[in-house]
Structure 1
Amino acid sequence: MSDPFPAVTETAAIGETAELFADIRATVGVRVVNLVWRHLATIDGALPWAWRAVKPLYLQGMVDRAAVRFRETMNLPVLGSLAGDQPKSVDDVLASYDHSNTINLFALGALVAWLRGEMAGEGLPETGSRLPAPDIVLPKLASAEDVAPETWALVLRLNRFGDPRQLILASMYRHLAHAPAFLQQLESVLAPVEADGSLAQAIAGNRADAHQRAKVLARAIDAARPQHATVIEAAIAAFVDHAIGKMVTICRAVRVARDVPLSLAGSAGLQTRS
């Protein structure tokens, strides 16, 4: 796996795509546009339709409130300690993905539910204040040619944890490839919970919870059904069910194992299971 789904790079984006990328960065509060949005830019009409459909969920704090409620009951596998000195950029990467993956999971999950006609609940979803986005600069998103072969092999091995189907290469590991010593530690603590099944159990439980919450959020989407709806649904669902769906649990568990201070909104009621 040398590259994930086809995607428009941020440096190559022009015209409306570049404008939408800039709006996504500003609205979500990230310095880079997540792969799912860049992949949608390769499907005719998908990016403008999808972003306009879910942008109000971000602006009204709906995805943020869903993330807070989700984290109150979130289950995490118990990892070995990852505390210790690492480049600041390691914790920056983890904080960025912890934020963006979680809120994107609910926005995109809501869009999948809307496309499938699977809305749930009554009334409007909860709105409120938005979670603060980490004010950081991420290191380069590495590719195979940017790092030593053994580091890239480690990135690929890490990507197998929690998702044997290997549909998408999680960008978080690529952003951490500048710190191979940390990736080695990460592999050592993920391997036991992969082997005993607790990682898969936590991912499956959190994903099911997120799916139900996304069905409630889907009621807030006001859009016309797009062209290529089936293709768009399949593309977004791949990220919701695989890359983002697993990484919200893995990234959160890694941050807990790093023993870094987490915001009240991010850590309240945190549950773990062995």
Structure 2
Amino acid sequence: MSARAQSLGPVAEVADDARTPPEIALIYDDIRMTMGNPVVNLVFRRLAALGVPVLSMAWQGLRPAYADGRLNALADALAPPVPGRAPVSDWADRQEGATMRRIVLDYDGNNRRNLIAFSALLGPVAGDGPAVRAPEGSRRAARADPWLAAMRAAPLAQAAPPLPDPATLDAATRACLDRLDAFGDPGSGPPRASLYRHLAHWPGFLHSAEAALAPLHDSGVLAQATAAMQQRAARAVRLLPDLAMDSAFQARIDPAIGALVRRIIPKMVPIGRALGAMLLPEHGGEG
């Protein structure tokens, strides 16, 4: 394990910051450039903790599908509606709201692509059913997405602050993160969703989000949204058989990213959209 790996439970990650080892930082930079997004998500940071060869092999296997637009097109088709209806947060009209919207938007763009890519890398689950239809025309064919349009129309910060170090968060914020992480989760325990941690720059918003999401969790709305995302991603994977790695490599990385791909990303795509809707000044988009 790298000396820079942070232990956040049973599995470590290599943070994306100024102290990242040079070989890993180069790969992180290529991930950012290829994906056109400043966020290097937890799925990559966990692979980095397994070593440069593991991260490099996974990224080189997936990179062509990110670069040629196949994942963009499939991710467009995967875009879910906002689950339920959460109240607009009073943070929406604050200056910080533009930064929070930028964070949510960046995670949404990456999470949908990463869910498909890494599900394909780990291999389809037997009985996933028929594949979704590939978008016709351009591989980046537009798909109606009211939430995305509303988020892009709202004021957005040009950049976001870095992901907070867990050690810098106070006990109340960490406890709130623990409660949030249970929402919509078909399992239990780690890993913790990075989107919540990134929004921990504003603990007050996290508490508002907890109050808004709790009824959606208790009613089963978030569980249904998570299950729907798992099913749609599993069908999309059948269009990308070339991304599956050999079984030995899959077995090597599954303990590090399996739960993240099967549980955490599927729940955070719809939850991220609910958080975004809370941050729209006039509650634009779906909801």
**TM-score between the two structures when normalised by the length of structure 1:** 0.81
Letter in 2 for 1:251: G
Letter in 2 for 1:249: P
What does 1:202-217 align with in structure 2 at a 5 Å threshold? 202-216=225-239
Q: How many residues align?
A: 262
Partners of 2:210 and 2:133 lie apart in 1 by: 44
Letter in 2 for 1:179: W
**2:197 is the alignment partner of 1:190:** no
Post-superposition CA distance 1:93-149 (Å, at most 9, x none): 111111111111111122122698989659998762389999842223223432332
Residue 255 of structure 1 corresponds to 276
Partners of 2:134 and 2:169 lie apart in 1 by: 47
Residues 1:47 and 1:91: Cα distance change in structure 2 (over 3 Å): same
Letter in 1 for 2:190: L
Retained in 1: the 8 A contact 2:163–2:197?
Answer: yes
Retained in 1: the 8 A contact 2:128–2:235?
Answer: no
Selected match of 1:20 from 18, 21, 27: 27
Q: Which secondary structure does the structure 1 equivalent of 2:49 belong to?
A: coil
**2:6 is the alignment partner of 1:6:** no
Post-superposition CA distance 1:231-262 (Å, at most 9, x none): 22343322111221110110012222333699
Q: Which range is displaced more, 117-126 or 28-37?
A: 117-126
Retained in 2: the 8 A contact 1:115–1:229?
Answer: no
Q: Which secondary structure does the structure 1 equivalent of 2:266 belong to?
A: helix
Partners of 2:20 and 2:106 lie apart in 1 by: 22
1:49: Cα distance to partner? 1.2
Selected match of 1:100 from 95, 110, 114: 110
Identity of aligned residues (%): 31
1:152: Cα distance to partner? 2.1
Retained in 2: the 8 A contact 1:57–1:63?
Answer: yes
**TM-score between the two structures when normalised by the length of structure 2:** 0.78
What runs of 5+ residues in structure 1 fail to find an aligned partner?
Answer: none
Residues 1:43 and 1:96: Cα distance change in structure 2 (over 3 Å): same
Selected match of 2:63 from 34, 55, 61: 55
Residue 31 of structure 1 corresponds to 38
1:79: Cα distance to partner? 2.2
Partners of 2:220 and 2:134 lie apart in 1 by: 37
